[in-house]
Amino acid sequence: MTQRYLILEDGSAYAGKAFGSLATTTGELVANSTMNGYQEIISNQIYHNQIIVFTQTSIGNTGLAQNAYESVLPSAKGVIVREYENLATDHFKRISLDRYLKRHKIPGIYDVDTRQIRRHLQQKGNMMASIVDVADEHAFDQLHATVLTNQQVAQVATPKPYPNPDEGANVIVVDFGLKSGILRELSKRDCNVTVVPWSATSEAILDLDPDGVVLSTGPGAPGNLPESVLQMIREVQTQVPLLGIGLGHELFAMANGAKVDQLRVEHHGSNHPIREIITNEIFFSGQEQGYAVDSKSIDHAKLFITHIDLVNGTVQGLRHRDYPAFSVQFSPDGAPGPKDSVGLFDDFTEFMARRRDNNDDEY
C-alpha cells in the first residue's frame, strides 16, 4: 500500500493510501454525496478534469456492472474515498474498480478523512487539488502553476456522428460530454438516435430530419463554448422539440439570453428537493452542477422557470414560451440517483409525437 497525498490549492494536504493508477494528476476538487453508483459517477464525463471526493464511505463493493457505465473513456482526474474494496463478483462478469481505474489512468486515494475534506470544501469553496507522491513545496508549486484546459467539451465529446438505430422517433443528441443514461432512456422509448459532435451546425442537425433534439450533459463552464453553439440552439428550438440536460440546460438558457454563474461550491448529490412549480410537487434527482442559471437574468418573454432547488434556490428547469423546448439542470435518467423524474423523457417523446401528428399543419 503506497502512501500518496491529496494536496489542495489552499495549502492543506491529506495523506492516504493509493489505489487505481499511480498517476500524478491535477483537477478541481468536488464532493459527491450520492450514496450509490460510484461506477456511474466515475465514468460520467462531467468529471473531466475533476477529482471526486465520495462522501459515501465505501466504494468498489460491487465491482463494475456491464451495463452501468456512463461513458467508454472516463476522464475524471482522481477518486478520493474513506474506504475502498476491490471486489469483482462473477455473476455479472464484473471487473474490479482497481482494474478499471488503472486502465483509465485514474488515481485513487483511500483511508482519508473525507468528511473533513467535504466540510473544508463547503467552507472554503471550489478549489484545485493534485494527487501526488510527495506533498512537498514542489508539488504545491506545480499545483499552483497548473492551468486546466477550457476546451473540456472538445476533449470528451465525439468528433464524429454515430447512430444508435431503433424504430421510434428520430432524435439527434448533441454530444457535449454525453452520459449514457440519456441514450438508455431514449432507447427505452425506441428512439432512433444519432449522436452528433458538439460543434454540429443547425443545418447539419436539421438535415438529419429530426423529430427532436437533445442537448446533452457535459463538463465545464458553458461560457467556454463558442457563440456558434448558442446560435445552433436558437435555430433548432424553433424547428423541433428540444430537451437540454445539465450543460445542455445551461446552454439552452444562455441561447435565450440568460446568464449562467459559477456556484461557490459545486453541488453533486441527490439529496436536494427539487420543486416542480406547476404541480408544487417535490422530487429528488441526481444533481451534478458547478454552474447555475441566474434567475434574475431570465427573459420572461422567452423562458419561464419550471423547477427550482428548494435548498439553494437555483433554477433547475426552464421552458420556452413559444416552442416545445425545455431543459433541466439535474439528471432525470437516474444514473446514478433517483428516477423520480424519469418521466421528463416521456414528456419529450410526447412533444415529438405531437409534432409528428401535427406535421401537416406546420409544414
Nearer Cβ to another protein (73/282): 282
Q: Would you give the distance in Å from CA 61 to the centre of its chain?
A: 23
Nearer Cβ to another protein (222/332): 332
Q: What is the CA radius of gyration of the chain?
A: 20
Nearer Cβ to another protein (111/235): 111
Using CB under 8 A, list all residues that contact another protein: 14, 31, 33-37, 39-40, 55-58, 61-62, 65, 67-68, 82-83, 85, 87, 89, 91, 111, 113-116, 118-119, 122, 269-273, 275, 280-284, 310-311, 334-340
Nearer Cβ to another protein (220/334): 334
- For 85-116, give the secondary structure using H, E and C: CCCCCHHHCCECHHHHHHHCCCEEEECCCHHH
Residue 246, annotated as binding a ligand: no
Q: 286: which DSSP letter?
A: B
Q: Which of 333, 347, 360, 361 is catalytic?
A: 333
* Residue entry with cell 451495463: 67
Smallest distance, Å, CB 215 to another protein?
24
Q: Which residues are within 8 A (CB) of 351 and not within 5 positions of it... i.e. 6 or more apart?
A: 212, 241, 324
Residue 177, annotated as binding a ligand: no
Residue 218, annotated as binding a ligand: yes
Question: Contact at 8 Å (CB) between 348 and 302?
Answer: no
**Is 346 designated active site?**
no
Smallest distance, Å, CB 54 to another protein?
9
Smallest distance, Å, CB 96 to another protein?
12
The CA–CA distances, whole Å, from 199 to 172, 264, 353 equal 13, 29, 27
Smallest distance, Å, CB 282 to another protein?
5
Question: Contact at 8 Å (CB) between 186 and 179?
Answer: no
Catalytic residues: 333
Binding residues for L-glutamine: 218, 220, 247, 290-291
Binding residues: 218, 220, 247, 290-291
